[in-house]
Amino acid sequence: MDKFLTVTALRRVVQLTAFVFFVYGAMIFATFYTDDKLTQALPALSCAYDMKGGDYCALIPLQHQMDHRVSTLFTQNAGAMEAFMGTLITIGTVALLILILNKAFCGWLCPLGFFQETITMIGTKLGFTQLTSLSRETITKIRPIKWFIFLFLVLILPLLTGIGFLGHEWGNPYCSICPSRIMTTAMTGDMSQVYISQANGGYFALSLIADLLFGLMIALALFVRQPFCRICPILPMQTLFKKIGLLRLVKNGSSSCESCGNCIKACPMDIYEIQDQAENRNITHSDCTLCGRCVEFCPHDGVMSFKYGPLTLYSSSKERFKKRTKIDKWWKG
């Protein structure tokens, strides 16, 4: 029974519930996919291309706003308020949601994150050799990619499209290559998003990248934890507001932390900074998804903890660490 009484087990239940809602929500709660959505700016990859989905992420409205609204500053001499109002509403909604749950949208709610974790669990059970952690040098090289994707594919290219410098296919380039678009639609039996477009060179390139990226993500997820999450452009958006989030990861190492490295081995995003000494400080890194595994696998009492405002929700414990290690060995065995 103890195998099911862990933070990870609870997170799996929440992830599965969120996956069902985001991928099949309109089938359950509404008659048309835009009906009764919670928001059009969720900081998780819930795809608007999924016609049966219950929500969609903030990246598609941001791209459309760059293309159709912000661009009017240059093409129609529109006022700043008219041009930026939609973008400000989207960003404000994201900020509000991050205030409530911070980056836990990635670790607990994102359907694409859950999909990758499921593939990794399948790889483990099939006996594939898992890369426990990527090197610090590799992580340093990977981290800027998500900012490049966010700045260029979500903001700059759609804006240039709206101004008229680029063709229509660059109006929402990130959505055109996003693995969530293929995954969420395929999960509802819709295979229309798996294609190679021959409309023009731009459409051809984007559709080819999308198919290759989706296949590569699945292949890598068999061996590497959260391969796409490491370059996901949602992370930069969340980083802008993570300091205001009520939910946070706090480290109070003082003399108790021995820098054993267990937290890094447990972290699916290989955040080496979490082993650094810190005394009662918020250490929610820009790559952190607040999954809680570092807290679960810390062998020292009270060194790592989840806090919501002033409240401590969960802290590291020597006894819980011993039980959690046995459970992990049982699963991998």
User: What's the helix, strand, coil split of the chain in %, to 5?
Assistant: 55, 5, 35
Is the pLDDT at 123 greater than 80, yes or no?
A: yes
| 125 pLDDT tier (thresholds 50, 70, 90) | confident
Mean pLDDT score of the chain, rounded to an integer?
Answer: 89
pLDDT for res 30 = 56
Contacts of residue 327, defined as CB under 8 A and 6 or more positions apart, other chains included, come to 2, 3, 6
pLDDT for res 77 = 85
Is the pLDDT at 195 greater than 60, yes or no?
A: yes
pTM: 0.91
Q: Which two tokens stand for residue 204?
A: 């051809």
Residues 133 and 142 sit within 8 Å (Cβ to Cβ)? no
Find the helix or strand (DSSP H, E) in which 88 lies: helix 80-101
Lowest mean pLDDT among 35-39, 152-156, 196-200: 35-39
Half-sphere exposure of 258 (CA within 13 A, CB side): 6
| 143 pLDDT tier (thresholds 50, 70, 90) | very high
Neighbours of 140 (CB within 10 A): 11
What digits encode the pLDDT tens for the residues 31-63?
454 444 556 788 999 888 888 888 889 999 999
**C-alpha dist (Å) from residue 177 to 153, 182, 220, 261:** 10, 9, 17, 35
Phi, psi of 18 (to 5 degrees): -65, -40
> Residue 50 and residue 182: Cα distance in Å, rounded?
9
Delimit the domains of the chain by residue range.
10-237, 246-328
> Residue 1 and residue 252: Cα distance in Å, rounded?
31
Is the pLDDT at 193 greater than 90, yes or no?
A: yes
Q: Which of 196, 209, 184, 168 is nearest to 64 (CA)?
A: 168
pLDDT for res 33 = 47
